[in-house]
Chains A and B, each alone.
Chain A
């Protein structure tokens, strides 16, 4: 294809630089730069080759950018001390994610309630747990722009099986941190998330 393009292109520019067209354009006052057959000629073929190479490079290497986002967790080292623990330290809500030997999710437990492997059920349970008044239904919150009042400073601690694939942990963190409401806006439920210490 490139050979055909180059041949046609060479023929085209040879035609353009010919004396007949040049005289016509000079008489019409179109051209300021005069290209004569005995003068300097631009060799366009190599430039077009480079341009096609550039274009091929860009097309092959182009990838649509993916939007990345962050989940913040704050986990200072637990220091042994004689002081009484603060209220925050006493009240983390435990979410347990269990897995099989292949790392696939086998169960979600919130408090003492088993939720199967349904992260939307986990989201609903968290929603109902932290809602201050209990006046807004979960489905209503998902489909409308009503934002209920949530209790502040709730901390969720994830107790995950070591073999569990990280994608399930991220789905769990996503489920407890918030949801998309009816207007596709993110509503935050839990800001504080942490992990249990790693198991041996």
Chain B
């Protein structure tokens, strides 16, 4: 019996494999899409480090500070500025930090010393700015800090 390979007229496209591939691609992207980017910020390009590795143990309470190149600090969606450098936009950092620590304390009964500050600072931020941020956190009683970097492995 002679097998018929295609019933389509010459010159027409067979759409079935293309639609199959399109659906496979959509399935792939749907599965790999990352919804856990809430901690990231589009204006922050983290500094590189060949030793940066995801932490093996997750500390208790975390409070993330996003520090942009334009000296803005984001706590969640709240824009802050350091108290000694007032700006037109945002709220004083110490006030925002005090509010956040108050919420954490009332919800989880963790005091400031038990909260870990995660500093996600842009690679071009001045180091002095990060130091002043840490100093203001210390004034509120925070003791543990985490400096975040992106992992880059240099090939020799």
CB distance B149 to A103 under 8 Å?
A: no
CB distance A54 to B15 under 8 Å?
A: no
Chain B, residues 46-86, CB within 8 Å of chain A (1/0): the string is 11111111110000000000000000000000000000000
Which residues of A have CB within 8 Å of B150? 66-69
Closest B residue to A162 by beta carbon equals B128
* Residues 18-65 (chain A) with a chain B CB within 8 angstroms: 21, 48, 51-52, 54-55, 58-59, 61-62, 65
Q: How far is the CA of A54 from the CA of B19 in the complex (A)?
A: 13
Closest B residue to A69 by beta carbon equals B52
A-B contact count (CB 8 A): 181
The dominant DSSP class at the B interface is mixed
CB distance A167 to B48 under 8 Å?
A: yes
Chain A, residues 185-200, CB within 8 Å of chain B (1/0): the string is 0100000000111110
Which residues of B have CB within 8 Å of A85? none
Which residues of A have CB within 8 Å of B129? 162
Nearest-neighbour CB distance to chain B for A111, whole angstroms, equals 20
* Chain B residues at the A interface, C-beta cutoff of 8 Å: 7-8, 12-16, 18-19, 22-23, 25-26, 29-30, 32-34, 46-55, 113, 118, 121-132, 134-135, 138-139, 141, 143-151, 153
Return 27 A-B CB contacts under 8 Å, by A number: A12-B12, A12-B16, A51-B23, A59-B29, A62-B33, A68-B54, A68-B149, A69-B54, A69-B150, A70-B53, A71-B147, A77-B138, A77-B143, A161-B127, A162-B129, A164-B127, A165-B125, A165-B126, A166-B121, A166-B122, A166-B130, A167-B123, A168-B127, A171-B47, A171-B49, A180-B51, A196-B131
* Chain A residues at the B interface, C-beta cutoff of 8 Å: 5, 8-9, 11-13, 15, 21, 48, 51-52, 54-55, 58-59, 61-62, 65-77, 97, 103, 160-171, 173-174, 177-180, 184, 186, 195-199
Q: 3 tightest A-B contacts by CB? A: A162-B128, A69-B52, A58-B29
